């Protein structure tokens, strides 16, 4: 499934992707620079720094210099102070006790990379640009001193400082890009509330201060549960409404790779299907439910969250003479209290389960669902499938499909499609290209990628077993190392796709693989493109030494997590760095891509 057509460049221009932008999340936090120790706000950085120095005795710039903090260190420090303050704690004693260079400094936890305050201007300030200005000023001062007579000392410093400045600039550019991505996604909310709660637990006071801690945590975001629930409800309504129209169902039904894979699994495995009770989660038009009935299932229940499409699924079932086998229910699977199995079957099942100590718990033999979204996990429908598995599937029952794999490969310039804008009937449209490029560094691009645009072998970065996995397993971080077979050539992006398997574990007569690989027939899921900030020149290890600046591998980590801020959305975090033939590593980059549903 993939309801949000706005994400797909295959169906709409890229600039129309995901009209609901990350910046649409409105906040009542106010504007300007907020004090680290209170609610006071100021129009400039200098004003807030002066306020915190005079009123709270804390100089942020001096503290950075004392502890040698870079941009990421400053981000951690700011978030640490805000979390402690929100929990009613005074962070200054622990800051004063931290020895410069200590690996045990309290702000070093990577969780403090998550913003504690929405649109915190202190996080978005370019602190390393300040460092550059200071270095340049120092270099200029040294040069002046040299001109005044300190020739030997001055020339040595002047020769060293420009190199340091260049290094600072290079590092700053990488961190600036990371900050831009962080601003686009704003990974705040639950992670910071958890840290605030932990900080509040450190209080040794009596009940009075404990109450203050609760209030402070609420102010930091803990009291937003009701609005978040309402927001999730609105997104769910929009999500299910998107499946109430026929266009999306025609697109899915016309996807022969998808539909025939499910049909074959349901109709060509008689030992699994004959006489089985089956639950179809997200049944849509009822196609899989009807295939299951035709494949020999004795009783089929199809569930869909869209009342409109469920009505037509019932009509389809009746029109094909399957009303005796297939029952369609309009409901979210999480809200379902009972399965409408045939009365005699339900009675016998209930009697057997009462003897097993599971009174009233109906169960099915097979659970089927076409739950997959772009990049496999977009739309977060997998959680509903796992809920249905845990509540309605008998022990040892079959989940179809039962395995899912996510793949990653390096790609050349053609994968992103941005090259189109360089020559449009002889005209350059670079302004459009640059705008789309900026957007692609904030949101993953969903588009069809040609196999010839891939420049590396695919690596499987994650495997899911739907019969045994937990819901939290959807959030993962996986390492990768990609190499090229020819070169030198440039890696411009990484490409994601997935396979789902109806394995021999359950489909003994006819195992099936549903692949969305660029090397096969394209599906309506196409592929997901993660644009790199800058191209990486790569070459095979055998020839890399003769190709200046060419890396032998691109190495890093891919994280995919359900968004803590926007229901049914996905955050993809890519950390990567080139690796060279001599074993050294290039500059590490980090990009955060969003995939969001429309509200």
The helix (run of H) or strand (run of E) holding residue 558 is strand 553-562
Q: How many CB atoms lie within 10 A of CB 100?
A: 11
Q: Is residue 271 within 8 Å of 509, Cβ to Cβ?
A: yes
Residue 237 catalytic? no
Question: Strand pairing of 277-281 and 364-369?
Answer: parallel
Q: How far is it, in rounded angstroms, from Cα 517 to Cα 525? A: 10
CA–CA distances in Å: residue 2 to residues 247, 249, 419, 455: 12, 10, 26, 27
Q: Residue 123: beta bridge partners?
A: none
**What is the secondary structure of 123-180 as a DSSP string?**
HHS-HHHHHHHHHHHHHHHHHHHHHHT-HHHHHHHHHHHHHHHHHHHHHHHHHHHHHH
Q: Is residue 543 within 8 Å of 486, Cβ to Cβ?
A: no
Q: Which of 20, 128, 132, 370 is catalytic?
A: 370
Q: Is residue 122 within 8 Å of 78, Cβ to Cβ?
A: yes
Of 280, 327, 303, 264, whose CA–CA distance to 511 is shortest? 264
Q: Residue 509: beta bridge partners?
A: none
Class of residue 426 by CB neighbours under 10 A (exposed 0-12, middle 13-18, buried 19+): exposed
Q: How far is it, in rounded angstroms, from Cα 373 to Cα 405? A: 13
Q: Is residue 410 within 8 Å of 456, Cβ to Cβ?
A: yes
Neighbouring residues of 206: CB distance < 8 A, sequence distance ≥ 6 = none
Q: How far is it, in rounded angstroms, from Cα 187 to Cα 523? A: 31
Class of residue 257 by CB neighbours under 10 A (exposed 0-12, middle 13-18, buried 19+): middle
Provide the edge-to-edge strand list for the sheet that holds 570-579. Answer: 476-482, 553-562, 570-579, 589-595
Residue 379 catalytic? yes
**What is the secondary structure of 232-246 as a DSSP string?**
HHHHHHHHHHHTSSH
Q: How far is it, in rounded angstroms, from Cα 401 to Cα 585? A: 40
Q: Which of 17, 128, 132, 379 is catalytic?
A: 379
- Residues with catalytic roles: 370, 379
């Amino acid at each position: 499934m993939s309801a949000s057509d706005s994400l797909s460049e295959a169906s709409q221009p890229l600039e129309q992707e995901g009209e609901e932008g990350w910046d649409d999340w409105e906040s009542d936090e106010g504007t300007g620079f907020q004090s680290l120790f209170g609610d006071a706000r100021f129009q400039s950085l200098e004003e807030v720094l002066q306020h915190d120095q005079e009123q709270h005795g804390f100089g942020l710039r001096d503290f950075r210099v004392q502890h040698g903090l870079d941009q990421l260190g400053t981000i951690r420090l700011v978030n640490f102070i805000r979390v402690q303050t929100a929990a009613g704690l005074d962070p200054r004693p622990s800051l004063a006790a931290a020895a410069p260079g200590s690996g045990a400094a309290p702000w070093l936890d990577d969780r403090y990379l998550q913003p504690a305050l929405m649109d915190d201007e202190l996080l978005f300030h370019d602190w390393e640009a300040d460092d550059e200005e200071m270095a340049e000023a120092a270099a200029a001062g040294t040069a002046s001193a040299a001109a005044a007579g300190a020739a030997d000392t001055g020339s040595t410093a002047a020769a060293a400082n420009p190199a340091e400045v260049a290094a600072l600039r290079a590092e700053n550019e990488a961190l600036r890009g990371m900050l831009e991505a962080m601003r686009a996604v704003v990974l705040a909310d639950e992670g910071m509330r958890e840290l605030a709660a932990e900080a509040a637990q450190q209080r040794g006071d009596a009940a009075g201060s404990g109450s203050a801690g609760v209030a402070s945590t609420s102010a930091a975001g803990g009291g937003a549960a009701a609005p978040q629930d309402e927001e999730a409800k609105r997104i769910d309504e929009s999500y299910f409404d998107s499946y109430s129209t026929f266009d999306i169902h025609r697109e899915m039904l016309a996807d022969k790779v998808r539909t025939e894979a499910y049909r074959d699994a349901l109709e060509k495995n008689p030992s699994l299907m004959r006489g089985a009770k089956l639950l179809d989660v997200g049944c849509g038009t009822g196609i899989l439910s009807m295939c299951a009935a035709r494949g020999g299932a004795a009783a089929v229940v199809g569930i869909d969250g869209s009342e409109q499409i469920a009505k037509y699924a019932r009509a389809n079932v009746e029109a094909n003479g399957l009303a005796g086998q297939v029952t369609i229910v309009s409901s979210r699977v999480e809200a379902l209290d009972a399965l409408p199995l045939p009365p005699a079957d339900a009675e016998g099942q209930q009697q057997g389960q009462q003897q097993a100590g599971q009174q009233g718990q109906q169960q099915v033999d097979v659970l089927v669902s076409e739950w997959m979204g772009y990049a496999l996990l977009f739309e977060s429908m997998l959680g509903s499938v796992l809920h249905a598995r845990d509540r309605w599937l008998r022990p040892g029952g079959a989940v179809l499909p039962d395995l899912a794999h996510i793949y990653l490969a390096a790609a050349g310039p053609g994968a992103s499609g941005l090259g189109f804008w360089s020559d449009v009937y002889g005209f350059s449209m670079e302004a459009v290209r640059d705008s789309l490029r900026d957007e692609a560094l904030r949101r993953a691009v969903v588009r069809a990628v040609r196999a010839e645009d891939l420049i590396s072998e695919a690596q499987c970065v994650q495997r899911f077993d739907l019969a045994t996995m937990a819901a939290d397993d959807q959030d993962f971080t996986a390492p990768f190392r990609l190499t090229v077979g020819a070169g030198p050539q440039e890696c411009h992006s990484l490409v994601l796709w997935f396979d789902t398997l109806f394995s021999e574990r359950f489909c003994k007569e006819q195992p099936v693989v549903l692949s969305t690989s660029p090397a096969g027939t394209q599906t309506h899921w196409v592929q997901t493109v993660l644009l790199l900030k800058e191209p990486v020149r790569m070459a095979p290890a055998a020839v890399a030494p003769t190709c200046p600046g060419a890396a032998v591998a691109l190495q890093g980590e891919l994280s995919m997590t359900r968004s803590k801020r926007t229901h049914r959305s996905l955050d993809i975090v890519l950390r990567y760095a080139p690796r060279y033939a001599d074993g050294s590593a290039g500059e590490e980059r980090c990009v955060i891509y969003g995939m969001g549903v429309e509200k």
